Amino acid sequence: MPDVVLELDPPSARIPWEMLDPARNDTESTPPLGVRIGILRKLSTNIRRESPRRSGDRRALVIGEPAGIKPPLPGAIEEAREVSHLLSQRNLAVEELLGRDSDSIIRALYRYEYDIVHIAAHGEFDEKGERSGVLLGEGRYLRSSEFENLRAVPTIVFLNCCHLGKLEESDNGELHYLRHPGRLAASVAETLIEMGVGVVVVAGWAVGDIAAKAFARALYTALLDGDDLMNAVRTARSKTYSICEAADLTWGAYQVYGDPGFVLHWVERRGAARQLRQPAFVAPHELYEHILDFSPRGRGADVIQRQGFKEELDRLEREIPKAWRKMGRIAHAFGTAYADLGFYHEAIKCYEAALEQSDAPIETIEQLANMQSRAAEKEFGSNRRQAMQWFNSSVKRLRELCNISESSERRSLIGATLKRRAKSMPGRTVKQRKARERYIKEARDEYEKACALVPANLYYPLSQKVALQMSLAPNHVKREDIDMIVQSAEECDDEWTRATIAETHLVRFLAFGEGTPEGIADAYVRAWSAGAGTSRREIDSSLGQLESLLELVSDNEVRKRADAVRLVLRSWLDVKS
């Protein structure tokens, strides 16, 4: 019998489908259906975060039995310790919190960006939601709001809130098992899936200590060895069943939500044959989520790995049903995956195909314009005619969007396109230099319009405007603008702010001669070192900004200072790489 993916709505997700075995009776010695085949869940929900930002880092948060919780959970501590040891052996940076207080847990939750979050603890559920979630302390819970505010959406969340059965106290003071463990599991899973977690593992009822460790160990080992999710879950259930006594149903307690073809983006798939096999999809949204998983897999990948991912995408695009290829949302997802892997031509074709359909997301227009701009810069030297068409089309599309609904992001995209246009232009003749200066001014003005719309990430358009102003007239750079960049970056504290703050040191050095090249380089390296997996992107972006200054600036003194910083930075990177 083939593996099964169950498409469930929230009410039906409460049912322990993994235990269903219609073709088996008590006299049979064969394992249950849920052990013989792979069973995964898919939650049907109208709310689902598209293209969630993942951590590119190999970092995990492992929590076991928060302090002061009754009854004690020695099994949770052992499970967390086992998982922490296993992940550490596979070169993940692990934040391990065993028996820690609620404040320490909350601080750790927001300290880094995590790819994996594993929690073994007590859980509570009530219909009103006031006393629902992971129990961290007396009256303190880890609720959906805490998960939704994470710095990056984890790829995997393994939540075991039924260790040894949570005991609740009735009105007469007696202790009894949690009445609705399935509801807690379904409720938590729904929240995590809606926020974009790729794989969600939740326990539907009380689990045995030894079996719980066996399931977690087998699941993580299989995934870290390169198995896809369906194979990993089948293996974990089978191994857990083999050590369970007849009355121990831990093997069926774990409800796993995710794409059957999911693989950890930073491990190689196991076996060439398995790499070529495409997972089966029963609904378009499963395919959609699978396609978007290519984006984090490509983060930090080298040229050969990215080419391999592209070949997988190409094959997937050829083999899916023709009707699905004509869906705007699916074509948009392919475009996003190709774009994040750095294949701009393929991304442009997919975005253009998406726009031919009525269900394409509105951001398809923005992304198409962005890809045309990036491809034009890349192709300008070899295919100038095509590059000019893409530059013009990009600006035209974005300005038309601004006429409908202006936004800071759209104005910034126009500014970025005009900036690339200026960089692409030769500056050998007076006429060419004047044309380049015109594009620089237009780009600066677009970023200024973006700033006027007061976006949450004001530091980004303002830093771009200041850099372009320095290219035109360094003596017109305003110190108050630099101070405002720092203030906005510190308030946002997202993946780009660390390098942006370092960039303000560069601007002060270039415009005012304050500081030294070594000091600027040190600020950048410290910023990159503090990054959580996105440091390679920050490095590329920061060096790109520096290269832009060198290409666009006309002041000789500023060019000398920028070149000195570039030399120091590149020498430091060579030493540290």
pLDDT recorded at residue 233: 94
Taken in order of first residue, the domains within the chain and their CATH numbers are 48-227 (3.40.50.360), 278-359 (1.25.40), 362-455 (no CATH), 484-577 (no CATH)
Is the preceding peptide bond at 260 cis, omega within 30 degrees of 0? no
Tell which residue, 180, 74, 161, has the closest CA to residue 117: 161
pLDDT recorded at residue 262: 84
HSE toward the beta carbon, residue 330, CA cutoff 13 A:
18
Annotate 145-178 with DSSP letters as a single string: HHHHT-SS--SEEEEE-BBT--EEE-TTS-EEE-
The parts of the chain modelled with pLDDT lower than 50 are 163-170, 173-179, 271-277, 531-538, 575-577
Residues 6+ apart with CB under 8 A from 197: 52, 153, 154, 155, 156, 157
Q: 202 by DSSP, 3-state: which?
A: strand
pLDDT recorded at residue 381: 86
Tokens of 142: 């880890």
Residue 196, judged by CB atoms within 10 A of its CB (0-12, 13-18, 19+), counts as buried
pLDDT recorded at residue 166: 37
pLDDT recorded at residue 185: 62
Annotate 95-149 with DSSP letters as a single string: EEEES--HHHHHHHHHHS--SEEEEESBEE--TTSTT-EEEEETTEEE-HHHHHT
Tokens of 102: 């609620």
Helix (H) or strand (E) holding 39: strand 39-43
Q: pLDDT tens for residues 499-508?
A: 788 888 888 9
pLDDT recorded at residue 125: 65
Residue 200, judged by CB atoms within 10 A of its CB (0-12, 13-18, 19+), counts as buried
Residues 6+ apart with CB under 8 A from 351: 331, 332, 335, 364, 367, 368, 371
The DSSP code for 475 is: G
pLDDT recorded at residue 520: 85
**Amino acid of residue 227:** D
Residue 479, judged by CB atoms within 10 A of its CB (0-12, 13-18, 19+), counts as exposed
Cα(573)–Cα(486) distance, integer angstroms: 25
Q: pLDDT tens for residues 175-226?
A: 333 445 556 566 777 878 888 888 999 888 878 888 899 999 999 999 999 8
pTM, full prediction: 0.61
Give the residue carrying structure tokens 């710095």: 151
pLDDT recorded at residue 364: 95
Backbone phi and psi for residue 67, each to the nearest 5 degrees, phi listed first:
-65, 145
Cα(281)–Cα(229) distance, integer angstroms: 14
* CB distance 223 to 232 below 8 Å: yes
Annotate 333-401 with DSSP letters as a single string: HHHHHHHHHT-HHHHHHHHHHHHTSTT--THHHHHHHHHHHHHHHHHTTT-HHHHHHHHHHHHHHHHHH
* CB distance 253 to 162 below 8 Å: yes
pLDDT recorded at residue 319: 85
The DSSP code for 201 is: E
How large is the angle between the packed helices 517-529 and 497-512, nearest 10 degrees?
A: 170
Give the residue carrying structure tokens 């101070």: 483
